[in-house]
Amino acid sequence: MDRVLALKQRRAAKGFVLVAADIAQVEAFATLPGGKIGAAILASWPGPVTWVLPAHSDVPTTITGGRRSIAIRVTAHPVARALCAAAGCALVSTSANISGREPITAKTKLRSRLGRALDMIVPGDLGGQRRPTQIRDGSTGRVIRAD
């Protein structure tokens, strides 16, 4: 995590979003609510909706930004899902950019902008999202960041 923070020139207090391959990977980090909101969460996954949920006490603060909550989603992106499945756990998801700058959306620009600090670029198609995923509050359902 320290390396990702340094590469992105990002403050640890911002925390990160996690992507998961399935609900079991989410439950390893967060508590899912029941009722209507729990049903809304399950209906939105896999897909481009990130939910802020109560984090388990053992989740590192570098992921939560020191909060008691965590932003997490079950991704529909086939490459990201396959990576999570192969790792056996949810993974940090972050835009390919230096903090505060425009995200890199073309693989051809990735190497030139982030340079040799990258160990590798995973082959595969980019997702079809033009904007960051929607983020919703897992206790109220309120939209925190629109898509």
Which pLDDT tens digit goes with each residue over 93-114?
988 788 888 877 777 788 788 7
- pLDDT on residue 25: 98
How would you classify the pairing of strands 49-54 and 134-137? Answer: parallel
Which pLDDT tens digit goes with each residue over 1-27?
888 888 889 899 999 999 999 999 999
DSSP category for residue 30: B
Whether residue 33 has pLDDT greater than 90: yes
With 0.95 as the threshold, say if the pTM is over it.
no
Which pLDDT tens digit goes with each residue over 128-144?
777 778 999 999 999 99
Q: What is the CATH number of domain 2-145?
A: 3.90.870.10
Q: Are 63 and 20 in contact (CB under 8 A)?
A: no
Q: Domain ranges for the chain, please list them.
A: 2-145
- Torsion, Cα of 137, 141, 143, 146 (10° steps): 100
